[in-house]
Amino acid sequence: MPSLPASYFDALYTGNSDPWGFASSDYESAKYAATMAALPQQRYRAGLEVGCSIGVLTAAVASRCDTVLAIDVAEAALASARQRNADCRHVRFERGAFPSDLPAGLPALGFDLLLLSEVLYYLDGAALADAAIRTLDLTRPGSDIVLVHWLGPTPDYPLTGEQAANMFISELGPEVELLMHRRWPEYRIDVLRR
């Protein structure tokens, strides 16, 4: 199955402003708390959140970063994210797709936090390999790369969460060190250091 197109996500947000229940789900709230607890550093210079959706996790990420670039392919989601995080002036929300279509104005020193939460299984194998290359381009030695993946069935997606995480880590190769791998019944978190 090929990577999911932006139109797939546009359609989801047309019918529901929060299609995954990010703002209301106990599961999402617990997963976000576990994600933030997994961050190895208390403070980051520049963070990149891929697939920010309506910006619920972005607010927590913003509290740990000097600057954040949060991207999503769905403009309706970005509009909600901007409104939700209106008081976070150090967060920039932009439309973009990872790895192929990132917005202009990326930090010259790269990102020292790259968060890929529940997004890699939307990519097919070739795009996932490109995502690993792009990740290495966007980070520097000492940068943290955080992966979060749901482990349930994904019949509409090119990959399962397990496949996506394992393939991505393999594609990154010896450039990264696995700092943490933790599993819950519904999801897993992997923290890697460049």
User: What is the 3-class SS of 49-74, one letter each residue?
Assistant: EECCCCCHHHHHHHCCEEEEEEEECC
Residue type, 126: A
In a domain, 1, yes or no: no
3-class SS of residue 181: strand
Structural domain range at position 29: 6-193
- Let me know if residue 103 belongs to a domain: yes
- pLDDT tens-digit map of 37-48: 999 999 999 999
Question: How many domains are contained in the chain?
Answer: 1
For position 178, which CATH number holds? 3.40.50.150
pLDDT confidence of residue 88: 95
C-alpha–C-alpha distance, residues 54 and 51, integer Å:
9
Model pTM?
0.95
Residue 63 domain flag: yes
Give per-residue pLDDT as tens, 56-83: 999 999 999 999 999 999 999 999 999 9
Measured on CA atoms in the order 76, 134, 40, 107, is the torsion positive or negative? negative
